[in-house]
Structure 1
Amino acid sequence: MSQATKQVIPDDWDVENISSIASKVTDGTHDTPRPVKEGVPFFTAIHIKENSIDYGSCYYLPQKIHDEIYKRCNPELGDVLMVNIGAGTATTALVTVNYHFSLKNVALIKPNDQKLDGRYLNQSLIFKRESVLETLSSGGAQPFLSLTQIGQIKVPVPQLQEQIAIANALSDVDALLGELDKLIAKKQAIKTATMQQLLTGKTRLPQFATYTDGDKQGQTKGTQPSELGETPEDWEVKTYGEIFTFLTTATNSRSDLSESGKVGYIHYGDIHTKWDNLLNVSKANIPHISQDKITSAILLKEGDVIMADASEDYDGIGKSIEVLNLSEKKIISGLHTFLLRDKNDVFANGFKGYLHTIVAVKAIFDRLATGLKVYGLSKANLKDVPLPVPPKEEQTAIATILSDMDEEIQALQQRLSKTRQIKQGMMQELLTGKTRLPFDKVDTKSQGEPHAD
């Protein structure tokens, strides 16, 4: 093994600057051309994600403007794109389409196909991104990589056939990650549609769709007008204020929290980023706080609802979680939250966490929210927001279906996370030469090019 730039690599590998193994390092336009409804696809930094390009949300340019940009920067199948300015700086992706498009604020690296496989280079740059960012000077308005700096990035370079073998192995894992992403998105879409049908009564479960006794026995249940639109005639409509007691929450910031302590602490930021609908305390990683830092707060009870009362975007307005499987644990609700407790057990446990997702309810939240950069709900306004109240037995049946869907999605998300960890481990082994793959039988002509989408 030889040492180069403080990295141990196999003796038969080299370490090269990108400029010496690329046929071109350039970038797209620095201007801001006006997009049109139809024309040639046009991508900016926002379209370049880690290891993928968001082809579906591209802008379009007139042919004449595209042609001018394309003279300088001509991305083609198998090239590597790198964001070179802004928050996504050093993010890379492989070009997998075989049509013309233009770029802005994105660098283009064309591999010398006699020395370098584009897929291998892309994986190497993904692996090196953090170290590349560390080389940038701090204090500027935003991160920036010049073309010279990109050209000076050093990457380990095995023989071309070994590059292809490594790229093939990592691409197989990428394909699995892509399929898992698609499956999760599909399951989430099904769950969303199911929620909007069951939580509004537009679709009734068979056992609740008809009357089972009395003069209407066997007849399909109808609907009635309400503040939420048409709702089932055997459902009630009550307000948050009628159903819930609003309890005292803590006022501690994130800096007061730690991984240890006797009391768990629900931070509003975690409601936005970590949990959806139901908080299973027995499985969740909840931050803690020391007892002596708590000035006033009520301990949570099973079935309590915690709503984030502030959000930086409309999607998060009114987002709530229901606390389940609390057991004997001591947990409090924190800053920028409402702690809601069902006064008279109007709702079944497991049902309350989905109330904020009902389209008509969410629309009222959005209408009531105030603020410019951060949107907030007031306690006074929230108390008047109406909620549909199905019979308790129907609530339980709906909650069971939705929680089963949640568990299936969570299992897929855990599998996705584990697969990502596996890929990271593979990159650590393969892109440093710690683990070598057989490559003498690889056909470079048939396997060295990416598949076009």
Structure 2
Amino acid sequence: MIGIEFEVQLGKRVDAAVARGVPKTCINNRGVRWGRIDVAEAATELLSKADLRDLRLRYGDVLVCEGGEIGRSSVWRDELPEAYYLNTLHRLRTKGRYQPDLIAAFFERWAATGELQALVGKSSLAHLTKENLLRVPLPMPSPEEQKRIAEALRAADELVQSLERLIAKKRDLKQGMMQELLTGRTRLPGFEADWRDVLLGDHVTYLKTVPLPREQLDQVSPLRYLHYGDIHTRTSVRLDAAAEPMPRAAGRLAVNAGRLAAGDVVFADASEDPAGVGKSVEVANVPPEGVVPGLHTIAARFDKQVLADGFKAYLQFIPAFRQSLLRLAAGTKVLATTRAYVSSIRLRLPDPAEQRAIAGVLFDIAGEIAALERRLESARAVKMGMMQELLTGRTRLPVEASA
């Protein structure tokens, strides 16, 4: 059991109103991720002499979330020279017979399979109490096999984390490139012509939408249907409606709706979050059966001589475009985008040739990110498969026989 192999201690809640002591860096629940500690989430709290003695982290301590996503855990590897931990975290300190990495791997597997839920009890707010934690049974491979399993899973985890870091860097790079290229602060080689002011309303027509609730959609009708909720949840700014899975609508329900064409931009017209204002997709391809713009959408068809195909997907990231929509939507409970708002926006835009070049650069980096995300998904699947095999004893790793 965990109580036999580990010293278990729950962190302390620090009340800022009455706390006295020395300011110290403290790891909290938010900073504990599967397989890593995010020190950027750490807080500074006043700790007493007793706290400094009892709550200081040592290399190899395992931090386990007591609430929230119960059991989420990671091993402390001296990410900071000195750190402590707060309430809602259990600290497990091995007594020397059990690998910290191995217990963290078991927690991840138990969380994925739902086994940890049996330890929570019937309270409405899930908590992994110290009492229940101490009683958790632990499989007990030999010390050498523990080491081999932990090393194998650690290698798989490091691959996952390296891909996560690379994706984060690529996303930051893409964000920076959009800020530069979409504002004209940085120009691509070969383009020097002045950008011109464009009033969007002079170059757009709008298609009629059809507001159907989810209950009226299906998966078998030929006609594709673009719902505003599916725009908000997308990561790609381009929609290949001929290839991607989409909700369907019976043709009789959308007789009067406009049919989308390649190059059309469809905006979600409502958002509860400022980040979602102006969220849109550009249609890249349509099937013969057709696609209609749906509930809470604005379907815009811009003049291709003014806004080039591919570039329209990035209108939503032009600072002047977003700022205009946010200003117009201010003061409403649900932040709304309207046709009139879109038409009223004036932007400085390059000529279509430069727009296509900008869109090509941004599309390429988006493709690189998508490829890395597929690799990450595969690496995570491999890791989970390894856990399934190694943590159940279904597959055994060879170990050197003791002398």
SS of residue matched to 1:208? coil
Structural mapping, 1:212-291, within 5 Å: 234-291=194-251
Instruction: Select the residue among 140, 143, 161 that pairs with 1:157.
Output: 140
* Deviation of 1:252 (Å): 3.1
Distance 1:317 1:341, change over 3 A: same
Find the aligned partners of 1:248 and 1:19 in 2 and give their Cα distance: 65
Instruction: Select the residue among 329, 332, 354 that pairs with 1:369.
Output: 329
For residues 365-424 of structure 1, what are the alpha-carbon distances to aligned partners after superposition, in whole Å with 9 as ceiling and x for unaligned? 333334677433344333312233321111111111111111111111111111111111
Q: Which residue of 2 aligns with 1:108?
A: 91
Say whether the 8 Å CA contact 1:28–1:69 is kept in structure 2. Answer: no
Find the aligned partners of 1:26 and 1:324 in 2 and give their Cα distance: 56
Q: Which amino acid aligns with 2:280?
A: S
Find the aligned partners of 2:259 and 2:322 in 1 and give their Cα distance: 27
Instruction: Select the residue among 25, 37, 44 that pairs with 1:41.
Output: 25
Q: Which amino acid aligns with 2:102?
A: Y
For residues 188-218 of structure 1, what are the alpha-carbon distances to aligned partners after superposition, in whole Å with 9 as ceiling and x for unaligned? 2222222222222222222212xxxxxxxxx
* Deviation of 1:296 (Å): 5.6
Say whether the 8 Å CA contact 1:276–1:320 is kept in structure 2. Answer: no
Find the aligned partners of 2:88 and 2:171 in 1 and give their Cα distance: 33
Q: Does 1:122 align with 2:104?
A: yes
Find the aligned partners of 1:438 and 1:392 in 2 and give their Cα distance: 62
Instruction: Select the residue among 180, 192, 198 that pairs with 1:197.
Output: 180
The farther-off stretch of 278-287 and 313-322 is 278-287
Say whether the 8 Å CA contact 2:264–2:282 is kept in structure 1. Answer: yes
Q: Which residue of 1 aligns with 2:261?
A: 301
Structural mapping, 1:73-112, within 5 Å: 73-86=55-68, 88-97=69-78, 99-112=82-95
Distance 1:236 1:422, change over 3 A: same
For residues 44-85 of structure 1, what are the alpha-carbon distances to aligned partners after superposition, in whole Å with 9 as ceiling and x for unaligned? 2222222222102311123xx254434444432212212212
Say whether the 8 Å CA contact 2:160–2:379 is kept in structure 1. Answer: yes
Say whether the 8 Å CA contact 1:235–1:391 is kept in structure 2. Answer: yes
Distance 1:28 1:304, change over 3 A: same
Say whether the 8 Å CA contact 1:275–1:321 is kept in structure 2. Answer: no
SS of residue matched to 1:366? helix
Structural mapping, 1:51-90, within 5 Å: 51-62=35-46, 65=47, 67-86=49-68, 88-90=69-71
Distance 1:79 1:183, change over 3 A: same
Give TM-score scaled by structure 2 length. 0.88
Q: Does 1:180 align with 2:140?
A: no
The farther-off stretch of 424-433 and 327-336 is 327-336
Distance 1:164 1:286, change over 3 A: farther
Find the aligned partners of 1:305 and 1:260 in 2 and give their Cα distance: 25
CA RMSD of aligned residues (A): 2.7
SS of residue matched to 1:383? helix
Q: Which amino acid aligns with 1:196?
A: Q
The farther-off stretch of 344-353 and 119-128 is 344-353
Find the aligned partners of 2:214 and 2:32 in 1 and give their Cα distance: 32
Q: Percent identity?
A: 32
Find the aligned partners of 1:178 and 1:368 in 2 and give their Cα distance: 41
Paired positions, count? 396
The farther-off stretch of 247-256 and 164-173 is 247-256
* Deviation of 1:293 (Å): 5.5
Find the aligned partners of 2:95 and 2:220 in 1 and give their Cα distance: 53
Say whether the 8 Å CA contact 1:370–1:377 is kept in structure 2. Answer: no
Find the aligned partners of 1:372 and 1:438 in 2 and give their Cα distance: 64
For residues 282-310 of structure 1, what are the alpha-carbon distances to aligned partners after superposition, in whole Å with 9 as ceiling and x for unaligned? 55333334446657633221111122223
Instruction: Select the residue among 425, 432, 435 that pairs with 2:385.
Output: 425
SS of residue matched to 2:102? helix
Distance 1:79 1:353, change over 3 A: same
Q: Which residue of 2 aligns with 1:399?
A: 359
Give TM-score scaled by structure 1 length. 0.79
Q: Tell me, which stretches of 5 or more residues in structure 1 are unaligned?
A: 1-16, 210-220, 222-233, 443-453
Find the aligned partners of 1:441 and 1:361 in 2 and give their Cα distance: 68
For residues 145-193 of structure 1, what are the alpha-carbon distances to aligned partners after superposition, in whole Å with 9 as ceiling and x for unaligned? 2111222333433122212111111111111112111221222222222
SS of residue matched to 1:179? helix
SS of residue matched to 2:165? helix
Find the aligned partners of 1:296 and 1:89 in 2 and give their Cα distance: 51
* Deviation of 1:129 (Å): 0.7
Find the aligned partners of 1:268 and 1:184 in 2 and give their Cα distance: 27
* Deviation of 1:243 (Å): 2.8
Find the aligned partners of 2:311 and 2:187 in 1 and give their Cα distance: 15
For residues 415-453 of structure 1, what are the alpha-carbon distances to aligned partners after superposition, in whole Å with 9 as ceiling and x for unaligned? 1111111111111111111111112279xxxxxxxxxxx
